[in-house]
Amino acid sequence: MSNNYNILCVGHDSAALQVRSAVLASAGHQVKVVTFYWALMLLRMGDFDAVILCHTLAQWERQLLGFQIESLGRKTPVFQLCSSVQGAVVQHVGACVNSAKMQSAVISVLEHNSDSAAA
pLDDT of res. 41: 92
Alpha-carbon distance of 17 to 10, in angstroms, equals 8
User: What average pLDDT score do residues 76-102 get?
Assistant: 52
Q: pLDDT digits over 3-12, tens only?
A: 788 999 999 9
- Beta bridge mates, 92: 95
Q: Which CATH number fits domain 6-118: 3.40.50.2300, 3.20.20.140, 3.30.930.10, 3.30.360.10?
A: 3.40.50.2300
pLDDT of res. 31: 92
